[in-house]
Amino acid sequence: MPRLCQPCTACCDGWLQITVDDQPVYPGRPCPHSTGHSCRIFERRPEDPCRQFVCAWLSPHSHLPEDFRPDLARAIVLADVRRWQGQAVDVAVPVGRRIPGKTLAWLKDYSRLHGRPLIYLEQADKQMKYSREQGVQAFGPPAFQAEMLARLKSGTKLW
């Protein structure tokens, strides 16, 4: 059975930084069309990004388990935005301030077992309101971590 989004709206609710009808959506600023469990304009939602975007959990060939739906696992995983030495990289974005320990542990175990590099984000400050600038961590082969660190220092985009 193909997986279905609803009632997940994690990518609509600002956890993923997107632009919808020229309106920026980012942590603390959800899409105005999201009810938090559905889309008010589902039948006429924009092509880009709404109809085109597929997170790694929703992908037909997902490597993520059933209970990794982003609203449940509290992380949106992107599996097709970055490759490193021919290998797909998982990019995990928190649904909230931080990716829960259980979810992050699973992603790290998968990375170790399959040699699949991982980049994950977290809100840097626990006290302040949500920020568009998020802390970035790289996990996986030492050479991958070193390259990501060098990119961070030089201001080069990681994905």
Residue 91 engages ligand SF4 in binding (rule: CB under 6 A): no
Choose the binding region for ligand SF4 from 28-36, 114-122, 133-141, 146-154 (rule: CB under 6 A).
28-36
At residue 135, the 3 state secondary structure works out as strand
In the numeric block, which tokens belong to residue 34?
């999201």
Q: How far is the CB of 51 from ligand SF4 (least distance, A)?
A: 8
Restricting to residues 70-89, name those near ligand SF4 by CB under 6 A.
70, 76
Among 26, 27, 36, 50, binds ligand SF4 (CB under 6 A): 50
Alpha helix positions (H), 23-95: 70-73
Task: Report the C-alpha dihedral over residues 140, 157, 45, 54, rounded to 10 degrees.
Answer: -20
Task: Give strand pairing partners of 27.
Answer: none
Structural contact between residues 55 and 72, judged by C-beta atoms closer than 8 angstroms: no
- Could you tell me how many residues of this chain bind ligand SF4 (CB under 6 A)? 22
Does residue 31 touch ligand SF4 according to CB under 6 A? yes
By C-beta, is 47 or 126 nearer to ligand SF4?
Answer: 47
* Backbone angles phi and psi of 104, in degrees to 5: -65, -40
Smallest distance, ligand SF4 to C-beta of residue 71, A:
6
